[in-house]
Chains A and B, each alone.
Chain A
Amino acid sequence: MTRTPILEAARLVFRRDLTLAWRRWDEVTQPLIFYVVVTTMFPLATTPELSQLRLISGGVVWVAALLSSLLALEALFRADVEDGTTEQWVLSGQPLGYLLLAKVAAHWMLTGLPLVLMSPIVGTALGLPFEAWGTLVVSLLAGTGTLSVLGGIGAALTVGVRRGSVLLSLLVLPLAMPLLIFGARAVTMAIDGDSPAGPLQLLAAIFFLALSLGPLAMSAAIRISVEN
């Protein structure tokens, strides 16, 4: 029996998830709408003054993006675990981490990436200047990517748990605090005109760490959730 090369298998998983999401694309738009709604809450809760909103815009855009990403993460593995697809992956003998990473990548393209593309618009609504757009987008790319991996680990751990979405948030958010610190700070520095290179580099380092170790943790967690 010839085994499919892993990259081919990963690509299959990736395309499958994208196709499935295409058929239920209201699930894709929901986090985006949540993002806009949450960001709207801040001016309503504080002040309509753009000059004041600008001071917190970096933080608000980041917090709202993290929360919106988390919203969609709970269901990441549920469908596949329930119908036995994940079990097949575990039994297939393919390196499980790559398959799960492909799944997380597809999920990120459907949730994280739209958020990142939306962020300049949302940021401008909070007084974020055009000069900071680059930093905003770059920092959120790394941030949402890392969060997808962290959320993947959390989702794999909580896949069988009833109403696991709150638990998932409780598990993932503390782990995501460093991301928030560096990312929001980078954007704020860009707004102030300073170079955000420092925090951006740290953010990138965390992203690559998550990318390399995350699949290991995810496959361990999935195996635990799937085996009886």
Chain B
Amino acid sequence: MWTWFHKLGSPPHAYRILGKMAPWFGWPALVLILVATWWGLWKAPTDYQQGDAYRILYIHAPSAWMSMFAYVMMAVAAAIGLIWRIKIAHAASAAGAPIGASFTFLALATGSIWGKPMWGTWWVWDARLTSELLLLFLYLGYMALRASFDDPQRADRASAVLAIVGVINVPIIHYSVQWWTTLHQPASVTKMDRPSIALVMLIPLFLMMAGFQLYYGWAMCRRLRGEILRRERNAGWLKEAN
């Protein structure tokens, strides 16, 4: 088991394995997302309170979850790269950022769209949306810092420090934003919480979460391969592989 991990640190080996793994992520992801969409839009019944608008939940909640998951993964990879000086970990961190930022954007956009029929406004400063917005800033800052360095090694390591500082901040941000929103509506439950929900309405949520998660895996495989190629430009194994 340990040798498998160890081999993964070697770029040519990782490149090959990622190429083989990608379809195992990709096709199940596609199937799950399509099934979840069908179930969520067609099979699940209309909600008594929110009508058909609640169906946006099926993409909003998984996007929000993935945005957080991707950030934590990015920070963990960055930490591994920084502490053990494993290049491929830095590559994984870089590869994950645009995917995570996309999910964050999606969470914000779908949350905003959902807000209009529910609260009558396109934007609401509720806990989850505000946290997502701050998370988007963290992603953008990370990508901006990376882009500002010419030296790829320095870019890797500086952005790694930023990612680690950011991930420590994420729980603090969450808690503070939560606290901030309860100040003005002490006992209210935000409308995006679902007190009790029928199983037939929950299943598409789980399917979509799983689909998004596998999609992330697929996108990571592809992007990480690209990152490896870019970083290993002058390495010998590339010449043999091509």
Contact = CB atoms under 8 A, between A and B. Distances in A.
A107 interface: no
Interface string B152-191: 0010011001101110110011011101100100000000
B169 A175 contact: yes
A185 B161 contact: no
A164 interface: yes
Interface stretch (A2-10, A70-78, A165-173): A165-173
B158 A224 contact: yes
A167 B145 contact: yes
B141 interface: yes
B145 to A, nearest CB: 6
Interface centre among A164, A170, A171, A182 (most CB of B within 10 A): A171
B158 A170 contact: no
A217 interface: yes
A224 B172 contact: no
A158 B71 CA distance: 21
Contacts of B173: 174, 177-178
Interface string A161-205: 110100100110111011001100100000000000000001000
Nearest to A220: B161
B134 A157 contact: no
A206 B175 CA distance: 12
8 contacts: A157-B158, A164-B148, A167-B141, A173-B137, A174-B138, A182-B176, A220-B161, A224-B158
Contacts, number: 72
Contact of B154 (A181, A213, A224): A224
B30 interface: no
B176 A181 contact: yes
Interface of B: 82, 134, 137-138, 140-141, 144-145, 148-149, 154, 157-158, 161-162, 164-166, 168-169, 172-173, 175-177, 179-180, 183
A221 B82 CA distance: 11
Contacts of B158: 157, 221, 224-225
Given A160-B149, A171-B141, A171-B162, 4 more contacts: A162-B148, A167-B141, A175-B138, A177-B176
A153 interface: yes
A171 B145 contact: yes
The A interface is mostly helix, strand or loop, or mixed, namely helix
A60 B144 CA distance: 28
B175 to A, nearest CB: 8
A177 B144 contact: no
Contacts of A158: 145, 148
B184 to A, nearest CB: 11
B67 to A, nearest CB: 14
A167 B147 CA distance: 11
B137 A167 contact: no
A164 B165 CA distance: 19
B241 to A, nearest CB: 31
A221 B161 contact: yes
A153 B159 CA distance: 12
Given A170-B137, A181-B179, A217 B165 contact: yes
B168 to A, nearest CB: 7
Interface string A36-53: 000000000000000000
Nearest to B176: A178
